Structure formats: C-alpha cells, structure tokens
Amino acid sequence: MALLQIAEPGESAAPHEHRLAVGIDLGTTNSLVATVRSGMSVVLNDERGRPLLPSIVRYAAGGEIEVGYVAQSHQASDPRNTVVSAKRFMGRGRKDIAHVEMLPYDFIDAEGMVKLKTAQGIKSPVEVSAEVLKVLRHRAEASLGGELTGVVITVPAYFDDAQRQATKDAARLAGLNLLRLLNEPTAAAIAYGLDNGAEGVYAVFDLGGGTFDVSILRLSKGVFEVMATGGDSALGGDDFDHRVFCWIIEQAGLAPLSPHDVRLLQVRAREAKEYLSQHDEAPITVKLGSGEYVDVTLTTDIFTEITRTLVQKTLVPTRKALRDAGLAAEDIKGVVMVGGSTRMPQIQHAVGEFFRQEPLNNLDPDKVVALGAAIQANLLAGNRSAGDDWLLLDVIPLSLGLETMGGLVEKVIPRNSTIPIARAQEFTTYKDGQTALAVHVVQGERELVSDCRSLARFELRGIPPMVAGAARIRVSFQVDADGLLSVTAREQTTGHEARIEVKPSYGLSDDEIAAMLKDSFSHASDDAFRRALREAQVEAQRLIEAVASALKDDAELLSAEERSYIDNAIVRLQAAVMGDDRRAIDQAMDALSKGTNEFAARRMNKNVSKALAGKKIDQIGLDA
C-alpha cells in the first residue's frame, strides 16, 4: 500500500472517496445548507429538525455571539446588537441603504461599505454574514461527519460586483473554500432540471419578500445556458402585505395609529394574505392598543383587486427578459416558481396565463435554491459519476462600462453576456502632453455615469507626453466565472500598464438597481437629450482648450481689438457650457470659431514660413 499518493490536479487521490461539498442559500431573512446524499439533494436540518436558520446575528454585551433563532428571540430586547438582514448591507455605503434612519443600528460610514457599532466593537456586514456561514458550516460538518471540501454560495442574479465580492469575502472569513458563486434562479433551475430530466427553455420566476428576479435558461444535452436575466429589486411579498394593511385602515376608518398598532396590523395583513392562499376569505379581527376594534373580512376577490397592479408589475421584467433572450412566451417549456410569495394563487394564475401553462411547483419554493446549489457544489467538488455531468453557462446581470469625456458611459460588456468574458476598448488622451489617464469603471444600463453605479477608479500614469489623440490606451475588462471583474489599462505604444482587481468604491441599494433598470428605458429620450448636451459641452471645452493653447503660442499675431473679441467669446462660451441650453452653447461656439478663423489662418502662415525658413532654397524646388 502506498503511503503517499500523488494525484494529478483535477483528479481525485482516491476515486471512490466522496468529497464533502454543500450548497448554501445565504438569504436576507433565512439561510439554508444542503448537500447531495446518495444521489439526492437534501436540506440539512439543525439538531432540532429545523431546516431554516434565521439570518440574524447578536453580538451580546457578555461577549458571546448568537446566531439564528436565539438571536431572533433577543431582537426586541437588544435591537442595537442584533443584526437582521445583513445581506442588505453587503457591499453598500450608508447612503445606499433604504430607510437607513428607521434601522436601530449605529452605522459607521466606512470606505466602501457601512459598518455597525455593537457591544463587541465595530462589525462589517461581511463579518456578520460570516457568522451565519460559520453556523451552517458547523451544522454541515456535524451532519456529514468531516471537514468540507468546498461550498457553492448563491447570490441574487442582480447582485453587482461589490455585493458578489463581499459575499466571497464572507466565505473566506468563515473558513470556507468557495467553489463558485451561483445565481439563485440558476440554482433553482438546476434543482428542477436534474430532478425532472428537463430539456428546453425554462423561465425561473423568483418572488421573495422584498425582491423579484426572473431568468430565462436553456437546458439541453447537459448544458444550462442562462439566456437572460432581469427583475425588480423593489418588488416582493412585503408590497402585497402593505396593500392589505392600507385596505384594513380604509375599511375600518382608522385614525393615525401608534407604532405598536402599525406593527400589529402589518402582521395581521401578512397572515390574512397567507390564509387566502388556501381559503376563499380571511376574517381579520384585531383589538388595537387604542381600544378600537377592527373586524373586517378580506375575500379573494378583494385581495385580487387591490393587488392587481403589483401582479402586473412582475410581468414587465418578465417580458423584458424574454425580449433579451429573443423569445416569446410560447417558447417557454416550463416555469419554475421560487420564493414563498409565489404561493399566492394570484401570482400562480398570472404566471400561468402569461406563459399559457401551469407553473412548476413540485419543489418547496423556500428550499429549491439551496437544493440546486448543493447539486452544483457536488459536481464542482469532483463527485461526478457517468451520466451525471453537466455544464452551467451563466451571464453577467448588469452592463459594465467606462466613464468617457463629459460623464458619459461607454459600455464595454453588455448585460446578459455569457461569462467568463473579456472585452477591450481603446481610448486616447484629450490634452497635449497628458501623462495620466483616470479610469472609472461603472455598472448599469443608463447613459450617464451619474446614473450608474461606480465600481472603481484607478489611474494609468507615466504615459509619454504626446499630442492629444496620439496615445493609444487599451482598457481590458475580464469577468470570471463568479461574475467578478478585473480591469487592466495599457498604453499601446510604450506598453506601460496599470492593473486593478475591482474593489467597490461604494455600494448601491436594491432600490437603486431596480430604478436603474427601470430608468434605462423610461428615460431613454431624456438620456438622449442630456447626451447631446454633454457632447456639446465636451466639444465646447475642446474648442476653448485649443484656442487657449494657440493664444499662448501666438498671441503676438493679434491686434488688441482682435484679442479682446476672442477673450470675450471665450468667456461667453464658458458661461454657456455651465448651463444646460444646447443652442446657447452652439451659438457661443459659432461666435468663437468665427472670431478665430483669421487668427488660425495667420498661425498657419507663420508656421509654414517657419518651416521654410530652416531650409535651403534648393530643397523646396525653387532653383529651377
């Protein structure tokens, strides 16, 4: 027997050894861990048989760290030190978090990502998430009886680079070997695809508590290809609860409520909604703190009526994703339902009607993501058997681009490109003798930098001085299989290089992503107008620079009167550039151009005579 076996990379040392691998659904509200056991994907329960782990971490004053149900029980008594929904803060700055003032935490706005002041010191959302991951890791190791080889962690498909990076960091902090970050809808499709032996194009409809995600995937001959993904990150089950809440207030004719009564009615609203998934009507009776009684009955018909617009809202991104995939509803072979909110009959009905077929519901919508992640983890860990081999081709959810002159975005990689992917774009210098170039990487669908999310900034220095437009700077983007970006910039003539792993410069809220996606089409004409304005501004700035540079060299060619006319025109153009009237800019540019025509002609003459002055007569052919 060999004491030491040396294995080739990619091959296992002992062919029959089963590597322990798990899939983790790191959720906003709850997290789960699953594994493949005897060929079946199963969720691993805690010692009390519960599958879910509330994604809640408490940093108690005594020094202990509590995670899950224990932490949840202290949520009311120790709100400051009990962190709920840390996923919402991952890769986010303070100003990016919705309703930050309503949250009970002591936020510190650190570079790149917020941090929270707790009884155990300052904690970042990455550390909080790592605590959740550690508990799931221990649960898995206790249950499987050994150390984990690797994990797959799921992220929402719309997660941007900063949020993916933060999730990856949390895994590292929890001591996990991250095999891959996997998009949640893709994970759900894997769970269905393998269980049901599916072939064809599928839609994954994922309606959670606060977000909506839709993906179109093609499954064929063992390849899962994501064709398009979209969503609305400010639409979820909570919005349905809110409609019911408002309806109760209206029906009962209630006066302004105390915070306690608001919470009470919110809970009742959600219960009524859930009750209606199985029944035709839900009685709502509440005794409020004010002493008032509420006694109303919510019927299915009323609920359908008051939530109709919300249901319709889910179909907008669905249509868009279909369009991105170049498909029609008839082309979809099956619709996978994910997320507890898809239990609502109204959603089931609308989806069924839109795709003209019954949606697939045979897997628990709360578990399906973790189950799929486990299957992918099992494959990546190398536990594959014959006939149990497939490939996943995923896409990047949001376009990546660079800031160009005037705050415009030049898209380098469009959304829904299959990853890994690389693209390069060439840029040049804007001023004579420019030796540095600032590179600003952004993510989003809009045309203006200010409307997209800033991912990173870096500078390429040491460009040899050349005239404007002569340098050739090639900026290359590489997105890896986890959807993470790295950028390099290289001056082509000298080979001078700057390289960066993109680390987020600040975060962006889910609301902003949803708004970004929505705005990219509803403001298209507005963008076009602003784009034209920006272009005029850039053009004007260029003219001013050119004239200023000419004045510096050849001011003596002008009379005092001519000079003052030009100076005047420059000032007027500068003023116009500050405003947003494109016509005014055009007019001021015309005036400056006209005023400098004669000057340009004289400069040309001077330069020609200078060139001639240095040469002998016979060299210019006048000696005949």
Partner 1 sequence: MTTFPLDFSADYFALFGLARAQGIDAAALETRFRDIQAQVHPDKHAQGSEANQRLAMQWATRVNEAYQTLKSPLARARYLLQLQGHDAQVESNTSMPMEFLVAQMELREAVAEARVGADDTALDGLRRTLVSEMKGEYQRLQELIDTRQDFPVAAELVRQLMFQEKLLHEIDDALEAVLA
Least distance CB 399 / partner 1 (angstroms): 13
Size of the site for partner 1 (CB under 8 A): 36
Q: Which of residues 193-212 bind partner 1 (CB under 8 A)?
A: none
- Provide the CA 573 distance to its chain's centre, in angstroms: 39
Tell whether residue 381 is a contact of partner 1 (CB under 8 A): yes
Tell whether residue 115 is a contact of partner 1 (CB under 8 A): no
Is 206 assigned a catalytic role? Answer: yes
User: Which member of 87, 134, 320, 534 binds partner 1 (CB under 8 A)?
Assistant: 320
Least distance CB 395 / partner 1 (angstroms): 10
Tell whether residue 410 is a contact of partner 1 (CB under 8 A): no
CA–CA distance, 437 with 461 (Å, rounded to integer): 7
Identity of the residue, 480 or 562, whose beta carbon is nearer to partner 1 in the bound complex: 480
Applying CB under 8 A, which part among 5-13, 57-65, 165-173, 284-292 lies near partner 1? Answer: 5-13
CA–CA distance, 308 with 479 (Å, rounded to integer): 39
User: Which member of 24, 421, 455, 540 binds partner 1 (CB under 8 A)?
Assistant: 421
CA–CA distance, 233 with 119 (Å, rounded to integer): 32
Identity of the residue, 114 or 484, whose beta carbon is nearer to partner 1 in the bound complex: 484
Q: Is the peptide bond before 345 cis (omega within 30 degrees of 0)?
A: no
Identity of the residue, 25 or 232, whose beta carbon is nearer to partner 1 in the bound complex: 232
Tell whether residue 612 is a contact of partner 1 (CB under 8 A): no
Catalytic option among 78, 127, 161, 184: 184
Tell whether residue 428 is a contact of partner 1 (CB under 8 A): no
User: Which member of 141, 480, 545, 562 binds partner 1 (CB under 8 A)?
Assistant: 480
Tell whether residue 388 is a contact of partner 1 (CB under 8 A): no
Amino acid at 421: I
Least distance CB 164 / partner 1 (angstroms): 15
User: Which member of 319, 333, 602, 606 binds partner 1 (CB under 8 A)?
Assistant: 319
DSSP secondary structure letters along 192-233: HHHHHT--EEEEEEEE-SS-EEEEEEEEETTEEEEEEEEEET
* Beta carbons of 491 and 463 less than 8 angstroms apart: yes
Tell whether residue 481 is a contact of partner 1 (CB under 8 A): yes
Catalytic option among 66, 96, 206, 510: 206
Is 331 assigned a catalytic role? Answer: no
Identity of the residue, 86 or 392, whose beta carbon is nearer to partner 1 in the bound complex: 392
Tell whether residue 382 is a contact of partner 1 (CB under 8 A): yes
Amino acid at 61: A
CA–CA distance, 332 with 329 (Å, rounded to integer): 6
Strands (E) in 382-531, as ranges, are 391-393, 400-404, 408-413, 421-427, 437-443, 453-460, 473-479, 485-491, 497-501
Is 25 assigned a catalytic role? Answer: yes
Tell whether residue 525 is a contact of partner 1 (CB under 8 A): yes
Identity of the residue, 131 or 527, whose beta carbon is nearer to partner 1 in the bound complex: 527
569 is written with which tokens?
Answer: 């025109």
User: Which member of 450, 521, 568, 604 binds partner 1 (CB under 8 A)?
Assistant: 521
10 Å CB burial of residue 473 (0-12, 13-18, 19+) is buried
CA–CA distance, 89 with 300 (Å, rounded to integer): 36
Q: Which helix (H) or strand (E) holds 179?
A: strand 178-183
What sign does the CA torsion over 575, 580, 583, 589 have?
Answer: positive
Applying CB under 8 A, which part among 90-98, 217-225, 291-299, 500-508 lies near partner 1? Answer: 217-225
CA–CA distance, 617 with 586 (Å, rounded to integer): 45
Least distance CB 16 / partner 1 (angstroms): 16
Q: How many residues does the chain have?
A: 624
CA–CA distance, 56 with 79 (Å, rounded to integer): 11
DSSP secondary structure letters along 321-368: HHHHHT--GGG--EEEEESGGGGSHHHHHHHHHHHTSPPB-SS-TTTH
User: Which member of 392, 402, 452, 573 binds partner 1 (CB under 8 A)?
Assistant: 392
Identity of the residue, 293 or 529, whose beta carbon is nearer to partner 1 in the bound complex: 529
* Beta carbons of 400 and 422 less than 8 angstroms apart: no
CA–CA distance, 294 with 292 (Å, rounded to integer): 7
CA–CA distance, 159 with 314 (Å, rounded to integer): 18
Tell whether residue 609 is a contact of partner 1 (CB under 8 A): no
Is 184 assigned a catalytic role? Answer: yes
User: Which member of 139, 164, 180, 530 binds partner 1 (CB under 8 A)?
Assistant: 180
Least distance CB 315 / partner 1 (angstroms): 9
Identity of the residue, 71 or 322, whose beta carbon is nearer to partner 1 in the bound complex: 322
User: Which member of 73, 196, 361, 417 binds partner 1 (CB under 8 A)?
Assistant: 417
Least distance CB 476 / partner 1 (angstroms): 11
Tell whether residue 490 is a contact of partner 1 (CB under 8 A): no
371 is written with which tokens?
Answer: 């189950």
Tell whether residue 380 is a contact of partner 1 (CB under 8 A): yes
Catalytic option among 87, 115, 273, 367: 87
DSSP secondary structure letters along 253-284: TPPPPPHHHHHHHHHHHHHHHHHHTTSSEEEE
What letter would DSSP give residue 54? E
Tell whether residue 323 is a contact of partner 1 (CB under 8 A): yes
3 is written with which tokens?
Answer: 């004491």
Least distance CB 446 / partner 1 (angstroms): 13
Tell whether residue 522 is a contact of partner 1 (CB under 8 A): yes
User: Which member of 467, 524, 532, 612 binds partner 1 (CB under 8 A)?
Assistant: 524
Tell whether residue 222 is a contact of partner 1 (CB under 8 A): yes
Cα–Cα nearest to 298, from 342, 238, 336, 249? 249
Applying CB under 8 A, which part among 316-324, 496-504, 535-543, 575-583 lies near partner 1? Answer: 316-324
Q: Write phi, then psi, for 454 (nearest 5 degrees).
A: -80, 125
What string marks each residue from 259 to 298 as x (binds partner 1 by CB under 8 A) or -?
Answer: ----------------------------------------
Which residue has 């170039």 as its token pair? Answer: 437
Q: Which of residues 139-168 bind partner 1 (CB under 8 A)?
A: 150
* Beta carbons of 341 and 347 less than 8 angstroms apart: yes
Applying CB under 8 A, which part among 68-76, 111-119, 120-128, 476-484 lies near partner 1? Answer: 476-484
Q: What angle do CA 30, 36, 41 make, to 5 degrees?
A: 60
Least distance CB 179 / partner 1 (angstroms): 5
Which residues, other chains included, contact 131 with Cβ-Cβ below 8 Å and sequence gap of 6+? 57, 65, 67, 174
| Binding region for partner 1 (CB under 8 A) | 8-12, 150, 179-180, 220-223, 316, 319-320, 323, 379-382, 391-393, 417-422, 478, 480-481, 521-522, 524-525
Residues classed as catalytic: 25, 87, 184, 206
